Each structure stands twice: as C-alpha cells, then as structure tokens.
C-alpha cells in the first residue's frame, strides 16, 4: 500500500509499505478524509528525533476494513472517526484519569510517533472498541475529521480553563486549535472572549467563533489591552494555544488571582518555559496552571460528533485547501510554509 | 503602647504608637503569644518596598480587648486565634472562592503589609466575626499560635497537592511550613512522603512528622533519588515550600504525568520562575501547578484548632527558642541569621 | 411608605410601613422593576409558617437611595441589581463555600423570610458592597431584574449538573427556573437537552432556549422516552426544576451510572423525597445528587448581567404580564392561579 | 477443579467444574487466601436473581497460573491481588471516569455476578494487566486480601465524603466496610469521627480505627447525639455503610448545609430509599449525595497495598475466624448467621 512518510529528518515522500494487520483488540481503517497538522511539520523537522520511513498523520476518518477477534463494537464497513490520541485504557495513567499519558508523558500519542500514522491506504488502530466512534449519518467525513484533534484539543483548552458561567477568557493564538479554544470557551459559558492574533483571516474566523475582540499583538500589547478591557482585574481564564514562552508569560500576566491558565500549545523549544514572578503573585495568588494533550477515546469522539450533528460547531471554514492523497506532499508543504492563508489542508483519499 | 516596627528598610526597633480603635466590624486583640516568621525578615529587607514604622508580625493569639458594634460572636475576654491572613469576605476574590486574594493578589494579607502587624500590645483585627476563632480549653496559647500561618499554609500545600489515598508525595524544604506540608500530606492520606532537606535537625523533625526518607540535596540529587524511589515514574504530587526557581524546577521534574505541583514557597527573587520544558511534558502532560497563600478565616482556624485539640498534630517541637516581647528584637535577629538551629522563635507578651 | 405584605397565612395587601434605615454595612434601595415569584405564593400559603405584615418579594432592581458608613462601592443614585439571596459573606457556611446557607439551611435567603422583602417603596439590603451590582448601561431594568433569581437559580441547576461538553441533559419542568436551566445547559456545552413540560407555551419557549425535544408528560412517559432517545443509556445529567418527588424520581431514573442529578426545585410537601432504589443502582452507581439555593452576591450578579449585556441570554419572552406597583395584588393573584399563560408578571414601581 | 457455588437460591455447595482458560487479555489465578463477604450471602438469598452453579466469592489473592498472549505485566508465579471489581477499562463508563459501572450500573462487578467468582481452585481474571497488582514482599496474603473490597470500598466512602482537613464525619454502621470508612476518614484528615454501632466488639474496633465516639443506636438516637456533639450544626460529611433507608435518612439529617453524604451501603430492599425533606433543606441546602461501588484496577490496588506495606492500616483485627477451603461452607454460614462476633472469615486455600 502507499504511505506518506518521513524518510528522515527534513525529508518526506510516498513509499510502498505492507498493509498492517489487526491483533486481537485492533482494527484496520481505510481512510477517506484527513487533515495535515502543524505537528506533522514539527515531526519532520526533528521534534521527536530521527525516524525512518515513519508514516505521518494523525487526523483521519474512514471505513473499517478489518477487526481483531476481541473487537465487539465495530465491523468492516462501519464509517468511523478515530482520535489522534489512541490510549491504552488499562494503563497506569488511564486508570488515574489521564489516558493521553498512557505509558509515560504523551504516551497515548501513538500515530506517527511510536507507530505508523494515518496518511496511508490502511491504518492500524489499537484498542479499536475504545478508540473508534461511528460517525452519525448527518455528519460528512470532511466535517467529522475535525474531531480527531482540532475540536478535541481546542475544547480541552476551554474545559481545563475552568471558566465560570458569564466569565472572561483570553485565548492566545488563533490557529485551528486556538479557534476551537475560542469556540470551546463560548460553549462553556464565557460571556467575553478576547482573542490574540495578528493574521486578519484568522482574526475574522475568531470573531465568527465568538471572540468579542481580536487583539493584534503586532500593533497592541495584548497584556495591556486585556487589563484595560477587564478594568485592571485580568480575565478569569487564559488559554495558551501557540506554544511559546512569551505567550505563556502573557497568559499568566492577564489572569486574575484565583484564575486559571490552560496550556494546550506544544512548547517545542528551549530548556525552560518561564512564569513571570510578579504576574504569578510570587507563587501565592491561587492561580492554577493546567495542561492537556488532546483527549481521545470513543466517548469523547461521540460527544464531539454529537455537537457537529446538532450544528453547534461548524469547522468547515477552517478547511482552506483540498488535496487528493496523491498530492499530499503539496498539502504538507503548504502547512510548512503557511502560505496562501492556509489554516487546514484537507486530504481526500 | 509599644510596638515592634520596621523603621525603614533594614532597620527595626520598639517604638510607642497609639492604641488602635475598633470600627463597627472590628476587634482589638491583646496578644499573649506570637511567632516570628521569615516573612518578617523579608519585609524588613525590602520585599514589599519601603515602609516606615510599620508594626511587624502576623502570627499571634491573645485576648479580645474590645469589639465594634456589629461584632456578634466575640466579646472582651475571649481567648482567640487570628489568621495571618484576614480577608474581606465580601470582596470579589472571596466571592469567587479565593479570600486570601481579597482586593488583588495577596490582598487578604493585611498584617504588617497594608496595616500594622501583630507585634504590639494591642492589635486591630478587621472583620472580627469572620477572622477570629475561640481557642478550645485544652489547647495552650503556645500551641494554638501555630494555626495562624504554619499549619494553615503547610496544610494548604498538601490540600492543593491533590494527593490520592495511598499516593506518593515529595516535599521540597523542611522549614516550619515545609514540615507542616509533610505532616499535611500524611493527614491527607499519602502512603509515602519524600522530604528534601539538608539540615539534620529539620530532617529529624521531617521524619517525626511522617517522611519516609529525607533526601539531603547537598549529597544527593533529589530529582534522581526520587525517580529511583518511584521506579522512574515520579510522585503523584510535589510540594514547593522554599520559594526558589531551582526547587520549583525539581518539583516539576519529579511529578508524573497527570500529577500535581503545589507551590507554597514565596518566590522573592528574579523576574521569572522557570518550568523545565521536558519535565513538564512540553506543556501537554496533564500536570497541574497550583499555588496558595495561607488560608484565613474562622472556619479554617476552628478546624486547625480541632486537630490540635485532638492531638493529631503537635507543633511544639518547632518552637526552638523563646523570648519575652521586650526581647523581640533578639528573636527577630535569630530568625534572620538562622543561627542555633532555629525553627520558630516564640514571643511571650 | 407603601409595602405589599403577607398579613397572615392566606391574606395579602398593601399597608403603610416605616421606611427602613441603613446600618453601617447596608444600603436602602428604591425599586424600579420587580418580578412576582411562585415562592411568594408558597409563603403566603404558609410554607415558612405564620408571618404578620411581612413585606413580600425578592426579585427587584432599582436605585440606591442611601448607604451606611462602611459601604465603599455604591452611592445614592446608582442603578443596581440585588440578589434574591443576600448572604452574610463572613458566616460559617460562606467561608466553607456555601454563602446561600449562611447561618443555617437556606439562611442566605433573607428577603420576605427573615426580614422584609422587596415589594415596597424602599428596601433594606444587608452587606451592600457584597450583595449589589451596578447594571451595565446597555441592560434595561426589566431585563436586569431576571438576574436576581431566575437566571441565577436556573443556571445553578445547569452548573451543578456537571455537564460534559457535548453531553446530554434532561430538564424536568419548564417554568421560568426550568427554562433558565435549559438555557444554562446550552451555555455549559450540552449537545442535547430534553425538556419535560406539558404546557404548550412553555414548551415553545423551551425550544427557543435550546431544547431539542420537549416531552409532554401528559401523553408520554418521560422516563421511557428519554431512555429511548439515549439508546437505553440515560442522560449525563438531569435537572429537577419543579419540586415534586415524582419528577425527582424520574430524574434519577433517566440518569446514567456516573451521571448527575441536579435539584433546584423547592420540595414543599411531604416528609420524604424518594430515590428509586433500582434507578439509583442500589446506591452504588456513582450517581451524584446535587442541590442548590439561588446563588447571590456581587460577582454572580456581574457575570449574569454581562451575559445579558452581550445578548447571550434574552429573558424578555418570560415576561408575560405587566402591572404597576399599585396593582401588584393582581399580579400576585395571577401567579397564584397560573391563569392566562402567565410565566412571570413584571411589576413597575 | 473444585468450586464453591450457589446451586440455586438458598442453596450452596462445593461442586466440580472445568478449569477456566485465559483469552488473549486474561489471566488464570490460583487463590491462596480469600474472605467471605455479606454480599455472597445476599446473592445466595436471591439479590441478583436465580443463578445455577455460579461460583461465589470476590475477595482473594493468589498466584498467577497462566496468562493470555496480550498480557505484558504478569507471568505465572507472580503473587498478586485482584479487585472485587474487574472493569473493562475501555468501556463507555470507564472512559467517563466510572470504571465500576462498565457496561451499565455495577457492571464492573463481574465475579459471582456475570461470571464465576473466586471461591474455586482456579479463577479467571479479565483484562489482567489492568486488574491485577503484584503484592509487595512485606505484605502477607492474609493482609493483602483486604484490598480487594474492604479497604477499597471503605476508603471510597471516605474519599467521596469530601472531608475537609480538620473536619467532622459520621459513619453509620461498623461492619468491615464501615470500619474501613472510619479508618479512611482518619486517613483523609478528619479531626473527629462519630461512629454508629451497637455491637460492642465492632465499637471497640471502631475506636481502634480512629472513632472519637461510638454511638449505640439501641440506647441513643444517633441523629440527636451527633447534633449535640456538633453544637447543632451537623457534620461536614456522613457515610452510609449499611444499606438501609433509615440509616441513609439519618445521614442526611446529621449533615450540615453544604456537606456531603457518601453512600457505600448496598440498598437491597424496597422500591425507594427516602431523603428526609426537611433535613435535606427542601432540596436547596447545597448537600451533595455521592455513591460508589468498590473501585478496582491495578493502580488502586497498588496504592492500597502501599498503605499496608507502610503499616498505615492494619486490617488483621477484622479477621475473626479462619477456615480451610474444604470448610468454606461453614465460613459462609457463619457470615449468614453473624454468630460468634464474626467480622470477616478468612478462607485458606
């Protein structure tokens, strides 16, 4: 079968691979639609070390091709979504309530990390009963594919932000995950969301997903502006959706005592991420800093698909480009260059 | 009346002051026992800026001398404890559940900060009904005085650490607050507490309060040792009870994915406190970082006094020295030099 | 001044009373708009025992007329909302996080209970700094008045229901509180809300506030229908907004294991409210039953007013009738008979 | 192999059965020690309906005899504990955080319910990696066997009771689960535990496990006494460890507004369990009612075993009788009659 792989650091391409086989608890999925993620770009750049011929991708939906003997809930032909994160639900971390951390930090992240990813003609899904979900009839594949990572991660940012009903929220960065954090904050009862973003197309989408004001950090100091907007008090909750120390510091600085900073940005650089000592109230201001990796699992996927089915979230404006699987390298390169106002490139298998 | 004050940065002494008067909701307290705190030393060193003739101290118990017209629960002659933190319970932060942050970060800290402290013959207590508690008959003043700050702060460190029953905990630094964090971890159901401390007398006390092992950071790398003790997994919860970036970094590094870092150390220096990027799982490991300032209030004080009354905590081994109020400057200087194995100097009025 | 009172059980009327005076922490409010509540009807029926010449009412907005010497945040002329519940924020229960229970069960409920209510030319407000909130310019009095009780109680029902994002919720009864519970469930991220109501006008409003389906319990068994709609699993959360044992039992029966029942109905009759043993999983199904009395306080009011100011909630369709204060008895009687499709009668002072 | 079974309602005996086989994720366990539970008596009485030749028992420890091909963490010869509850960790309820409710209410309870129990020469354990735990060298089998149900259930009662540090707790009934709830309350930081029990031997053990006072409900009204002991306020938390409507009602009646009732009693009779309307504050007193079924899983077992290994809990005084497996019927009958001061009969295989 064909697979789009990282050949080595800095080099990608389509190669032939053996079709995977299902163990007793597994399924084989035939993808229909996928999305390229900035993480794929980071991986090829070396973020998780050297990898040879590792199939890329972690966001797809598709059709079940085969299932193992212990799989009860799915059968070949089912149209299903799969999480970007596919935990081992019996692991130590899962039993403690953190399935995304199965077998160590970020260990629930298997696709294109500890095993082949989803950009191939066939995809191996571990613990299929727990990690797949049937897609409701009314939800199209190109919409459903957003539950794998974008909705799940963005909404986790909002859920971890502990937003009080009628509260105020700042969301730093409005890439696709940040946009879904903005939408998630609205879904969790925020009265006001202040988004930080300089790109005008993303700013427009942020407003569409509920932001009251979008602060262009190129022209305005976002900390100063958010403190003004909150009469010097700061927001109840701040969400970091970029992964830089600077925006993280800003998040702490705009959060009121007793408030919450929710990090969903992937911090890929440097030895340290810095907490501003004074903004943190010298470590005594009752500020909480939460973190999350994209939650996976059948129940999570079902809830997100239900929101799509009800029309409560419409991810389609984030699909700025479409490519056939045969042209996936072009989609990948576009995500790398971030040209042409790209937000998410949709891959059609 | 006599008051022990910070005359200016770096200078202390006893001066004459007017006796304070009670507003409608207030009380005047005549102290009987007090404790000197390292915070007093920091304050005189300039930690909260220049202050002139500010009465020092925030840890006392005493006798009610007078009450305002709106005070219902106390009357002159009552033997009472008062919290180091005396919140305005109707403030914005209090209504949100964070009374220690009344009117801004750390704003519930009034004694020796925004008003005169407790090292005087008479002490003004705001919102007396809410901030005083009667001392049970069986609890002596010199024991009760530990509830003002040491028990309340140390136990808050343990409560915020979200320790599962049978869990593992690391407590960095075994000063009086760290010792009470160790004891608090035991009270909250920890199976194992690993304490980090180099001073042998403090190490001995740590074991007495429940630590399974005390790691001397002068001879052993505490991160390495704690990872060994937990078979490479890290602890469920780590408590920072010192206030340095280094120990905070160590806390993050020894905490397992999904675990909790609970900060109660006062971070007095530098622009930033640093989070180790990898130990933090690049911001995606479901680790939570909580912070707290000493909780105050009548209910808190009553619960802590109940624990003393039941004999479930014995703070007396922390009283290493005693001074009459007339010699309080000597007690203060001892706390500054940390000579003679001092943990807490008790002041007798 | 004129006041609309309960003269004795079963009898109401307007009488002359002395204008109240403000103690040090209090304010006097001159109402502009009010709402009659079914609780007023219950009170006159004897629900809280015999009361003589007790001023009725707990839902108003108005203008500050006078303030006590300790009041900092308000001054005469301010246009303000006041909660139906006006806690003593320093009380034992408030310090524990339950201000509505100040000084005993439901003790934060002072208006028309332990002191005169709000249906008078002047109203005494205890702890004014903590219990009033300025109304934003863009929010009219007749809208703002809904924050006192209807929004606060209804939303509390949704908040206590612990609704997961994308979750399913059942709301039993669609009076004004139930309608706001339905709206609140949407604001907290529910994907599907199943409302139970037989009155067609209320059913129509329930759909307007977000209900996917309204189940008419006169023609369909709501438990059976909700189990069908959830494929036999039951909902994540059920909200009781009526106050009868039967609907409470239904709530338990439609809630899945691990789900939450949130009670906001006032149970006014009988010695017991019954939990169905099997639906409750013989007391071992990890179902939680939460309860709440309307939350009060400045912060709560501000957040609710912010939602109104942003247009995220529109309570105006619930105002089915209007009366001048001089005709308040007619409004009260309408609320008693529930004639003419009444939901809330607005009183104009 | 030999198995001690329920032949039909009301009749037990030892019969021959085929040795079970391990599927890919399973293990076969050879028991060494077991405990008889009152639930076994209920089951034979018909509590879960007619069952023929169902092997009884759910509390054992033993040696791994065989494992399936997908089992990684265990191998034949390992000395292990197994939970009374053996969840399917990928199930809907497990993913929602309620593994004991896998596949429906109480569905994680498999032994002697939906499959054969543990009173046999060989025992089938589903999802072995997730549901077994190695026993530390220092913990003997006859001690370790208490983690399967008694510690896990009793401590869950205390954990769900949301006990504040220094709080007050009432525990109704001091059978083995109630005793462990009393101990659990101490481990979670209670200052005072009031136990309710009439049997003098159990009362003695309750004091040993930390109860300050044991109230004999045969001679004193426990509600009245607990209200006296708490100065009319009620306790922070009440734990129901019997399973009768009367004790459940008492739990609600002794719980203060904002407090928590934690049910771990199995309610085996009647259509309803009753909430006293007034004690519940007419459904508006911010009282929470939590429920739980014994938590299972490797992580839970490891934490409980760690507490035993540290000597923080000593369950041995609860072992009042010992029987060889060949005499298990005598142990079962003793548990039924509750003669001779029996608390737990230990079975030696």
Among B residues 262-291, those touching chain A with beta carbons less than 8 Å apart: 263-278, 280-291
Q: What is the pLDDT at residue A250?
A: 98
Cβ of C299 under 8 Å from any chain B Cβ?
Answer: yes
Tell me whether residue C276 is exposed, middle or buried, using C-beta atoms within 10 angstroms of its C-beta: 0 to 12, 13 to 18, 19 or more: middle
DSSP code at position B230: T
Of C23, C96, C130, the CB nearest to B95: C130
Strand order in the sheet with C11-16: C11-16, C2-8, C54-55
Q: What is the pLDDT at residue D67?
A: 98
What is the pLDDT confidence band of residue C134, given thresholds at 50, 70 and 90?
very high
Over chain D, what HEC string results? CEEEEEEECCEEEEEECCCCCCCCCCEEEEEEEEECCHHHHHHHHCCCCCCCCEECCCCEEEEEEEECCCCCCCCCCCEEEECCCCCCCCCHHHHCCCHHHCCCCCCCCCECCCECCCCECCEEECCHHHHEEECCCCCCHHHHHHHCCHHHHHHHHHHHCCCCCCCEEEEECCCHHHHHHHHHHHHCCCCEEEEECCCHHHHHHHHHCCCCEEECCCCCCHHHHHHHHCCCCCEEEEEECCCCHHHHHHHHHHEEEEEEEEECCCCCCCCEEEEECCCCHHHCCCCEEEECCCCCCHHHHHHHHHHHHCCCCCCHHHEEEEEEHHHHHHHHHHHHHCCCCCCEEEEEC
DSSP code at position B269: S
Is ipTM > 0.85 here? Answer: yes
What is the pLDDT confidence band of residue B188, given thresholds at 50, 70 and 90?
very high
Cα-to-chain-centroid distance, residue D83: 10
Please give the Cα distance from D296 to D301 (Å, whole number). Answer: 7
Of B168, B188, B302, the CB nearest to D188: B188
Q: What is the pLDDT at residue D172?
A: 98
Cβ of D97 under 8 Å from any chain A Cβ?
Answer: yes
- Please report the number of interchain residue pairs, chain B to chain C, with beta-carbon separation below 8 angstroms: 53
Of A104, A249, A286, the CB nearest to B292: A286
pLDDT, one tens digit per residue, over B255-308 is: 999 999 999 999 999 999 999 999 999 999 999 999 999 999 999 999 999 999
pLDDT, one tens digit per residue, over B218-238 is: 999 999 999 999 999 999 999
Classify C322 as helix, strand or coil.
Answer: strand
Of D24, D95, D99, the CB nearest to A70: D24
Nearest to B31, CA basis, from B84, B87, B86, B80: B80
Cβ distance of A89 and D90 shorter than 8 Å:
yes
Q: Give me the torsion for CA of B5, B7, B8, B10, rounded to 10°.
A: -70
pLDDT, one tens digit per residue, over B328-347 is: 999 999 999 999 999 999 99
Query: What count of residues does chain D have?
Result: 349
- Tell me the two tokens of residue A127: 């613990």
Among C residues 99-118, those touching chain B with beta carbons less than 8 Å apart: 99
Give the residues across from A214 on adjacent strands. Answer: A195
Please give the Cα distance from D2 to D32 (Å, whole number). Answer: 14
Cβ distance of A189 and C188 shorter than 8 Å:
yes
**Residue that the structure tokens 């190695």 belong to:** D134
Same CATH fold, B154-291 and B2-149+294-348? no
CATH code matching the domain that covers B154-291, chosen among 3.40.50.720, 3.30.750.210, 3.30.750.24, 3.40.50.150 = 3.40.50.720
Please give the Cα distance from C195 to A258 (Å, whole number). Answer: 35
Cβ distance of C299 and B96 shorter than 8 Å:
yes
Please give the Cα distance from A36 to A58 (Å, whole number). Answer: 8
Instruction: Over range A259-278, report the average pLDDT.
Output: 97
**Which segments of chain D have a pLDDT < 70?**
none
Name the CATH superfamily housing domain D2-149+294-348: Medium-chain alcohol dehydrogenases, catalytic domain (3.90.180.10)
Q: What is the pLDDT at residue C275?
A: 98
The rounded percent of chain A whose pLDDT value lies above 90 is 100
Give the residues across from A134 on adjacent strands. Answer: A80
Classify B273 as helix, strand or coil.
Answer: strand
pLDDT, one tens digit per residue, over B168-182 is: 999 999 999 999 999
What phi and psi, each to the nearest 5 degrees, are found at residue A236? -65, -35
Cβ of C165 under 8 Å from any chain D Cβ?
Answer: no
Among D residues 226-245, those touching chain B with beta carbons less than 8 Å apart: none
The rounded percent of chain A whose pLDDT value lies above 70 is 100
Query: Are the C-beta atoms of A244 and A266 separated by less than 8 Å?
Result: no
Third-level CATH fold of D153-291: Rossmann fold (3.40.50)
Q: What is the pLDDT at residue D190?
A: 98
What phi and psi, each to the nearest 5 degrees, are found at residue B255? -95, 130
If you compute the radius of gyration of chain A from its CA atoms, what whole number of angstroms results? 20
Q: What is the pLDDT at residue B283?
A: 98
Cβ of D306 under 8 Å from any chain A Cβ?
Answer: no
What residue ranges do the domains of chain C occupy?
2-149+294-348, 153-291
Classify C181 as helix, strand or coil.
Answer: helix
Q: Which runs of consecutive H residues, i.e. helices, occur in chain C?
A: 38-45, 92-95, 128-131, 141-144, 150-159, 176-187, 200-208, 222-229, 245-254, 298-309, 328-337
Chain A residues touching residue C307 (CB < 8 angstroms): 165-166, 191
Of D23, D69, D299, the CB nearest to A92: D299
- Tell me the two tokens of residue D171: 């525990």
What phi and psi, each to the nearest 5 degrees, are found at residue D31? -65, 150
pLDDT, one tens digit per residue, over C36-94 is: 999 999 999 999 999 999 999 999 999 999 999 999 999 999 999 999 999 999 999 99
Q: What is the pLDDT at residue D303?
A: 98
Query: Are the C-beta atoms of A28 and D74 separated by less than 8 Å?
Result: no
Helix (H), strand (E) at residue B95? helix B92-95
Query: Are the C-beta atoms of A248 and A265 separated by less than 8 Å?
Result: yes
Chain B residues touching residue D166 (CB < 8 angstroms): 302-304, 306-307
What is the pLDDT confidence band of residue C111, given thresholds at 50, 70 and 90?
very high
pLDDT, one tens digit per residue, over C192-247 is: 999 999 999 999 999 999 999 999 999 999 999 999 999 999 999 999 999 999 99
pLDDT, one tens digit per residue, over A332-342 is: 999 999 999 99
pTM: 0.98
Q: What is the pLDDT at residue D113?
A: 96
Classify C44 as helix, strand or coil.
Answer: helix
Chain B residues touching residue A292 (CB < 8 angstroms): 284, 286
Please give the Cα distance from B279 to A267 (Å, whole number). Answer: 12
Q: How far is B302 from chain D (nearest CA, A)?
A: 8
- Give the chain A residue nearest B97 (alpha carbons): A258
């Amino acid at each position: 079968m064909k697979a789009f792989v990282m050949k080595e650091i800095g080099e990608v391409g389509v190669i032939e691979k053996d079709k995977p086989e299902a163990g007793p608890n597994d399924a084989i999925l035939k993808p229909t639609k996928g999305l390229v993620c900035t993480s794929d770009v980071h991986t090829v750049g070396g973020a998780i070390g050297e990898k040879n011929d590792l199939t890329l991708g972690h966001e797809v939906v598709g059709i079940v091709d085969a299932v193992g003997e212990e799989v009860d809930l799915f059968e070949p032909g089912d149209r299903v979504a799969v999480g970007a994160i596919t935990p081992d639900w019996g692991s130590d971390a899962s039993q403690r309530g953190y399935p995304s951390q199965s077998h160590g930090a970020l260990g629930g992240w298997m696709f294109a990390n500890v095993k082949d990813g989803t950009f191939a003609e066939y995809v191996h899904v571990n613990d299929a009963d727990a990690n797949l979900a049937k897609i409701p009839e009314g939800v199209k594949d190109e919409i459903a594919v957003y539950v794998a990572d974008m909705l799940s991660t963005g909404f986790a940012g909002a859920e971890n932000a502990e937003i009080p009903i009628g509260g105020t929220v700042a969301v730093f960065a409005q890439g696709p995950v940040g946009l879904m954090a903005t939408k998630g904050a609205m879904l969790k009862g925020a009265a006001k969301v202040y988004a930080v973003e300089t790109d005008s197309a993303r700013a427009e989408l942020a407003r569409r997903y509920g932001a009251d004001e979008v602060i262009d950090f190129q022209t305005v100091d976002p900390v100063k502006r958010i403190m003004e907007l909150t009469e010097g008090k700061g927001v109840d909750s701040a969400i970091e959706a970029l992964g830089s120390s600077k925006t993280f510091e800003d998040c702490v600085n705009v959060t009121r005592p007793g408030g919450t900073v929710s990090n969903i940005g992937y911090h890929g650089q440097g030895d340290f991420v810095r907490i501003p000592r004074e903004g943190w109230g010298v470590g005594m201001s009752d500020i909480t800093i939460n973190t999350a990796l994209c939650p996976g699992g059948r129940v999570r996927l079902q809830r997100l698909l239900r929101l799509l089915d009800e029309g409560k979230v419409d991810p389609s404006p984030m699909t700025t480009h479409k490519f056939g699987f045969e042209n996936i390298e072009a989609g990948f390169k576009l995500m790398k260059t971030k040209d042409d106002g790209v937000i998410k490139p949709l891959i059609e298998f």
